[in-house]
Amino acid sequence: MKQKVSAIYLSLVLILAILIVLNILFTRHFTRFDFTKDHEYTLSKATKTILTNLDAPVTIIVYFSKKVPANLAIVRRQLISTLEDFKAYSHGKIIFKVLDPNKSQEIENQAMRDGIAPVLVEVREKDQAKQQKAYMGIVVKYKDKKDVIQYIAPNSSLEYLLAKSIKKVTTAKKPVIGILQGFDTPPDPRIQAFIDELSSLYDVQPLIFDSTKYNLDKYKVIAIISPHQKLPKKLFADLDKYLASGGRLFIADDEVVGHLNSNPPIGNSNPTGIQKWLKKYGINIRQSFIIDNRCANIQIQQPNFPLPISVPFPYFPIISNFAKHPITKGLEAVIMSFASPIEFKDTNGIKFKPLAYTSELTGLESPPVFFATFKKWSKADFPYHNLIVGLLAESKNWKMIVFGDGDFVQLPRGRRFQQSDNISLAANSIDYLADDMGLMSLRTKGISYKPLKQLNDSTKAFIKYTNFLLPIVLVILLGLFKAHLNSKKRKKLKTN
């Protein structure tokens, strides 16, 4: 008996010793098991590289109110957990503290001096809704540099926001990105979300064409977005030289344009010279309107009815068919408008890689087009499938990414999180062209927009009838099984 008790005590001591050793090991060697689809709770290789290469401490001050609604309290906990991971992988180079500006006037004044402004959030107290002031911002400091994240949206990727901010303040010299100005290209407010996304990692500058003096060689990447005027031949000749010297080019071109506010609404071609110039590189953007069965809705005002109604508009295709490529990794859906298909022809020394396609039900219309907003579309209107809307072309010297739509880049700052995949696709393209692919996968990590998978008619019919018939069949089978059991019981009683 004594030997049995001694064995139990020995086992308990061994288990305790093992737990102590494991605790020491896990403290010194941080690890985590993450089974989420996007590995939301595991730091990416790019983030770990940034953290392990820090040459000086980075101080992160989190100004986050403690008394906030439940959904924001979750963000606060996740933020602290993410910062703990950053601290562990940086070997102490990340120093962070969390302050509640609602706690004291001194901390609130400090938050205001650091550039963090309060926002109004709705809370419920005693079954009544009221608004209160809350702080949800971050300040990242490195040497004499500072970056401010004024507001943390609930659906944002915390790892990406932090890693991007750290890289922004620790990068000595940013590559220069030139965005073509003039020629009726969209003004900065229309592409502000795109510019903001790039500004963290790049020096974004306007490229103003001057036939006498301007230098394209200083730009790591040149972006041409939605010009609505004919471009000069001199510019195309300079772009040829730029590519020949190893340049990188991003083109989001509108070969067709729609005017929904005109009377009647009409769509026309938009000859800028880009289509003709691209053909020498084996690329052709057709001057046709893509119509797609998988599309966004628009608001239409009906006569004698005060409220607008929402109707599908096939000229606004939702692109959710992406190639397997670092540029498109993690993307779910991009909304385009008045897009055109892209074709390519094999050319010596140039490799082509389609990046994005339309759906299985797609059609084409040649301009001019009069938009019938209340038209009842049928399957016969969409005879094509998987038309290319985005393309990567590469040679030994240069790289070029071309999209058959320039509107998808044009999102004002306020709509950044509503259609984040639009900006992610454009920004990822710039990253790839600039050979800076480290944070690309983080832009779409934990994205909130998950479109439903489109099913064909036969699959829908199968699911519908299965849902209807399966319960009936199960009830019948259960009844037959019960009847069989009752029959066996009766036979057994008779034999007894």
Give 126-164 pLDDT, tens digit per residue.
Answer: 667 778 888 999 999 999 899 999 888 877 788 888 988
The answer to whether residue 214 is domain-embedded is yes
User: Contact at 8 Å (CB) between 152 and 161?
Assistant: yes
Instruction: Write down the residue that tokens 């259960």 correspond to.
Output: 478
Looking at 165, 196, 220, the residue that finishes a domain is: 165
- 21 belongs to a structural domain: no
pLDDT, one tens digit per residue, over 240-299 is 999 999 999 999 999 999 998 888 889 999 999 999 999 999 999 999 999 999 999 888
Residues 204 and 119 in one domain: no
Residue 34, pLDDT score: 47
Residues 188, 236 share a domain: yes
Examine the domain organization and report whether 114 and 198 are in the same domain.
no
Q: Which amino acid is residue 53, in one-letter code?
A: N
Among residues 117, 148, 165, the one where a domain terminates is 165
Q: What is the pLDDT of residue 28?
A: 54
Per residue in 62-104, pLDDT (tens digit) is: 999 988 888 888 999 999 999 999 999 888 899 999 999 999 9
Confirm whether 59 is domain-assigned.
Answer: yes
Give the mean model confidence (pLDDT) for residues 26-46: 59
Residue 446, Cβ neighbours under 10 Å: how many?
19
| Chain-centroid distance, C-alpha 6 | 61
Find the domain containing 99 and state its range.
45-165
Whether residue 287 is found in the same domain as residue 369:
yes
Say what the alpha-carbon torsion angle 70, 74, 75, 76 is, to the nearest 10 degrees.
Answer: 90
Long-range pairs of 36-40 with CB within 8 A, sequence gap ≥ 24: 38/330, 38/444, 38/445, 38/446, 38/447, 39/445, 40/445, 40/446
- Residues 217, 358, single domain; the answer is yes
- 210 and 66 belong to one structural domain: no
User: Is 253 in the same domain as 317?
Assistant: yes
Q: Are residues 185 and 297 in the same domain?
A: yes
pLDDT in tens, 316-360: 999 999 999 989 988 889 999 999 999 998 887 899 999 999 999
Query: What's the average model confidence in pLDDT over 429-454?
Result: 69
Q: Taking all residues of the chain, what is their mean pLDDT, rounded to a whole number? A: 85
According to the model, what pLDDT value does residue 257 have? 95
In-domain check, residue 212 = yes
The CA-atom distances, in angstroms, between 388 and each of 165, 345, 360, 404 are: 35, 13, 12, 8
What is the distance, to the nearest Å, from the Cα of residue 246 to the centroid of all Cα atoms in its chain?
29
Q: How far apart are alpha carbons 181 and 224 in whole angstroms?
A: 8
Residue with tokens 């690329």: 283
CATH code of residue 426:
3.40.50.880
Is residue 11, in this structure, part of any structural domain at all? no
Number of domains, the chain: 2
Domain shared by 84 and 160, yes or no: yes
* Residue 309 token pair: 């109604």
Q: Is the pLDDT of residue 123 over 50?
A: yes
Query: What is the CATH classification number for the domain harbouring 69?
Result: 3.40.30.10
In sequence order, what DSSP letters do the residues of 273-309 get, joined into one string?
Answer: SHHHHHGGGTEEE-S-EEEESSEEEEEEPPTT-SS-E
Last residue of a domain, one of 414, 442, 470: 442
Residues 6+ apart with CB under 8 A from 298: 260, 310, 311, 313, 316, 373
Cβ pair 171, 201 in contact under 8 A: yes
For 435: left if phi > 0, alpha if psi spans -120 to 50, otherwise beta; the answer is left
Q: Does any domain span residue 454? A: no
Interval 473-483: pLDDT, tens: 888 888 888 88
Pair (141, 202) in one structural domain = no
- Would you place residue 44 in the very low, low, confident or very high pLDDT band (cuts 50, 70, 90)? confident
Residues 425, 428, 434, 439, Cα dihedral to 10°: 170
Query: Is residue 485, in this structure, part of any structural domain at all?
Result: no
Residue 38 domain-assigned? no
Sign of the Cα torsion 4, 6, 8, 14 reads negative
Residue 202 and residue 98 in one domain: no
Within 10 angstroms of residue 137's Cβ, the number of other Cβ atoms is 21
Nearest to 407 by CA among 295, 299, 206, 255: 255
Rounded to an integer, what distance in angstroms lies between the CA atom of residue 291 and that of residue 341? 10
* 115 and 185 assigned to the same domain: no
